[in-house]
Chains A and B, each alone.
Chain A
Amino acid sequence: MSEKVLMKGNEALAEAALRAGCDCFFGYPITPQTEVAAYMARRMPKVGGVYLQAESEIAAINMIYGASAAGARVLTSSSSPGISLKSEGISYLAGADLPAVIINVQRGGPGLGGIQPSQADYWQATRAMGHGDFHVTVLAPSTVQEMCDLVALAFDLADRYRTQVMILADGLLGQMMEPVVLPEPAGADARADKPWALTGTGGVRPGNVANSLCLVADNLEARNVERFRRYEVIRDSEQRAETYLVDDAETVIVAFGACARVAKSAIDTLRRDGVAVGLIRPITLWPWPADAINAVLDGGVVRRMLSVEMSMGQMIDDVKLTVNGRIPVDFFGRSGGVVPTPAEVEGAVRRLVDAGDGAPAAAGVTAGVAAHNANNGKEA
């Protein structure tokens, strides 16, 4: 069963969701994630699952709320503007402690933006996925294989912690094809027991209620405190990150998703020239993998970090919070759907290294674009 098949990221993710025991998919078409919905539309009826195209993203996430409350493993998928529409429902899911997996195949924004790959929903996913006191767990795949592998994890985390898990991909990962080993189908014993689910009382137990309403402030606070205790467990036990050539690295790039692939290419080139550079690739964006970053900092070799993103600079906030002033943190990014090239990242690292300590060469969120324009002989 370990044979490799060539699959598009979105379809690999959808197949992995089926194998993870996804019961219901509710969605709405939007580029560049539509293949997830199309795959589900094709396969769900064949495996006895539920596929339904909703009238809106808002309806889709509320169907997710209903089906999750009824005990099903549920999945919805969208891209940036559609995720904004879902944010109300995600907040309700959080308030009612209903597990759900939500895919965001990001595109450039704000507004309708474009349809090219982006990572500009980082803040939304990790900071403000809706109103109120809550987090969603955010997983960031970097390969088509990981698009697959993180799906089962997402369902398991959602069920285990009664939380909402977002797979924060981007248009590049969604659309690209790579060889993947598809996961084995999850056994029935992998399914969490859900005594809270709405199944009908059968006249033998009191009614269950799926609900985010709590009008007594002290009680609502207590519910939020309980939820944040679960978040603490997630923070302590579910951080994930990959490190690449960090042991002797004086410059460490922090990058996730498609950007991490670009960064790795740049690192390989730089390493051939003897530049001591490595990579920390957050796989969980929330919980933020502070442990991995602290471990590299504690190694005492790193002298600077560079956050590389397909945005104007969002994840850099988390890098800075963890670094907490111990070393300079700089930024290189491209926005609006532009994918940085390995050469651009390589150039950003070289400028930092050449500038030496204490004099960041490319400060500020517009550094990426400025550097890009400079490289192209344009006025920055």
Chain B
Amino acid sequence: MGRPGGLTDKPFSYCPGCTHGIVHRLVAESLDELELTGRTIGVVPVGCSVTAYEFFNCDMAQAAHGRAPAVATGIKRARPDNIVFAYQGDGDLAAIGTAETVHAAARGEQITVIFINNAIYGMTGGQMAPTSLPAQITQTSPYGRDPQVAGYPLRVVEMLSTLDGVALAQRVTVDGPRNIRAAKRAIKKAFEYQRDGVGYSIIEVVSTCPTNWGLSPAAALDWLRQNMLPYYPPGVYRDVVADGHADIAQAAAARRAELAEQATGNASAGQPARRGGGDAA
């Protein structure tokens, strides 16, 4: 089984058991099958995939830490006919780049974000990430992540699924053939949505980091199943097409009308128009 045309011949530089290689392949296969590779411009983050511009066989930009959605926005606005994706890890996307992530999603940028969540900073050697689990031991949470001190992990796709600009927010994993196939379907759908102008899409891939988790590749996949997936359940958190809308504009209009109707109903029933807060008072 050779490499897809969407990847270069350069061997991956990732650690044994790292799932970046699988996800790179899924992205490249999806673009190839949709015949989009020649139109695609990718944006890579700061993190282990910082050199991924050497692996994807299309035009690529390397972005400052966390800024990939802004860079992708600039590319897409300048060249709306191109397909643009941002490939980011959890520190990049959910810590330093949270503002860029949320606002690109809120604007409904016609881009596809591939979000690798392995609950750790890999490249810098295993520090606590915004998605590190409670009690997870890392170099900078040596006694286990204590939510009293370090707060709680971000569930990114759940958070983004509340935004009107989001067409598709889905979490997948790549721990075995069945889930890899499901991940491929999600990634391909995200690029189809971009091609068809449906809206912003984000596919979170729950991933491993055997090196910094201190586990063998197989044990890392077990740890992922036992600890990551219960906290970060795979699933479709928003899909405007599945909800019966053509695109984010239609979905947003429908939600607005629904909220307005609720507000009118509440007002006529003498209830506060805003949800929550009323009962306790």
A residues at B contact (CB < 8 Å): 23-24, 26, 50, 52, 54-56, 58-60, 62-72, 74, 88-89, 92, 96, 198-204, 207-213, 215
Contacts and interface: CB of A to CB of B under 8 A. Distances in A.
Interface in B52-98: 53, 56-64, 67, 70-79, 82-83
A334 B132 CA distance: 51
**Most chain B CB atoms below 10 A, which of A56, A58, A63, A213:** A63
B74 A63 contact: yes
Contact of B67 (A23, A59, A96, A200): A59
A210 B50 CA distance: 12
B73 A63 contact: yes
Contacts of A55: 99-100, 102-103
Contact of B64 (A52, A92, A198, A201): A92
Nearest to B59: A198
Contacts of A208: 59-60
22 contacts: A26-B74, A52-B73, A54-B70, A59-B73, A60-B70, A62-B70, A64-B74, A65-B64, A66-B70, A67-B75, A69-B61, A70-B74, A70-B75, A88-B64, A89-B67, A198-B75, A200-B58, A201-B59, A207-B60, A209-B60, A210-B61, A211-B61
B59 A62 contact: no
Nearest to B70: A62
Given A198-B41, A209-B60, A211-B61, A71 B71 contact: no
A71 B81 CA distance: 14
A24 B103 contact: no
A214 to B, nearest CB: 10
Interface stretch (B32-40, B147-155, B160-168): B32-40
Contacts of B50: 213
Interface of B: 8, 37-41, 43, 50-51, 53, 56-64, 67, 70-79, 82-83, 99-100, 102-103
A203 B35 CA distance: 10
Contacts of B59: 198-201, 207-209
Nearest to B40: A200
Contacts of A64: 74
Contacts of B41: 70, 198-200
B78 A207 contact: no
Contacts of A89: 64, 67
A204 B59 CA distance: 12
Contact of B58 (A68, A201, A211): A201
A213 B58 CA distance: 18
A24 B62 contact: no
Given A198-B61, A203-B37, A59 B99 contact: yes
Contacts of A203: 37-38
A379 to B, nearest CB: 48
Contacts of B73: 52, 59, 63, 66
B172 to A, nearest CB: 26
Given A64-B74, A201-B37, A202-B38, 8 more contacts: A50-B78, A63-B70, A66-B61, A66-B72, A70-B74, A70-B79, A200-B59, A208-B59
